[in-house]
Amino acid sequence: MSGIPPLLTDASPGLRAASGAAVRGTTVRVVSSQARPALLVSACLLGTACNHEGGHSRRATVEALAATHRLIPVCPEVCGGLSTPRPAAERRGERVVNVNGDDVTAAYARGAQAAVELAHATGARRAVLKARSPSCGSAQIYDGTFSRTLHAGEGVTAAALRAAGVEVVSEDDV
Ligand code: SF4
């Protein structure tokens, strides 16, 4: 929950710097949409039908962040080369397997790398990712038994982004 206030306010460091300069009268800067901080977002939360069932998880509270941020949609599983729809998958330690028993770790790793590169390319320092996904989950994920059992853990992309210094929260946090 620690990252919630910065995600919900337009008082980001960049915006504060711009408005602060104007108040002091030393420099007048127009805050354009490009001055909004970039925010990586799971594409399914913005209505893209890219989840494993071919559906989405659209959240109005996440879409509303567009008022204060440049939203950068990403679906790591699609970026990793997986089709939509696709078999459900879960993490088993460092591996990812789907419900058919196929090892799909490489695709998940490619997707995670793509998300990290996108964060770097756009300057995104924060991300709002879909909760409980084997890619995007940031606090809990399913335990690899395909029994709908959650345990503490993070998805492959959430872990890679955090390792790259990106703050990751879920739609439940905004
Ligand atoms: Fe949504 Fe992430 Fe799953 Fe793509 S990989 S469908 S963005 S939760």
User: Over its length of 174 residues, how does the chain's per-residue pLDDT go in tens digits?
Assistant: 344 444 444 333 333 333 333 334 444 444 466 689 999 999 999 999 999 999 999 999 999 999 999 999 999 999 999 999 999 999 999 999 999 999 999 999 999 999 999 999 999 999 999 999 999 999 999 999 999 999 999 999 999 999 999 999 999 999
- The rounded distance, in Å, linking the Cα atoms of 33 and 13 is 15
- The rounded distance, in Å, linking the Cα atoms of 45 and 59 is 5
50 within ligand 1 shell (Cβ under 6 A): yes
133 within ligand 1 shell (Cβ under 6 A): yes
153 within ligand 1 shell (Cβ under 6 A): no
75 within ligand 1 shell (Cβ under 6 A): yes
138 within ligand 1 shell (Cβ under 6 A): no
pTM of the predicted protein model: 0.83
116 within ligand 1 shell (Cβ under 6 A): no
Structural domain spans, the chain: 36-173
112 within ligand 1 shell (Cβ under 6 A): no
Instruction: Report the b/e string of 42-59 with b at 16+ CB within 10 A.
Output: bbbbbebebbbeeebbeb
Q: What is the pLDDT of residue 93?
A: 94
Instruction: Report the b/e string of 89-113 with b at 16+ CB within 10 A.
Output: bbbeeeebbbeeeeebbebbbbbbb
> What is the distance in A from the centroid of ligand 1 to the CA of 145?
20
> What is the distance in A from the centroid of ligand 1 to the CA of 36?
24
How, if at all, do strands 150-152 and 140-142 pair? Answer: antiparallel
Give nearest CA residue, ligand 1 atom 3. Answer: 51
User: What's the half-sphere exposure (Cβ side, CA atoms, 13 Å) at 105?
Assistant: 8
**Who contacts 154 (Cβ-Cβ below 8 Å, separation ≥6)?**
137, 138, 139, 141, 162, 168
- The rounded distance, in Å, linking the Cα atoms of 150 and 127 is 22
What is the average pLDDT score of the chain?
87
Write the pLDDT tens digit of every residue in 14-25.
333 333 333 344
For ligand 1, mutation pick of 39, 40, 45, 51 (most atoms within 8 Å of CB):
51
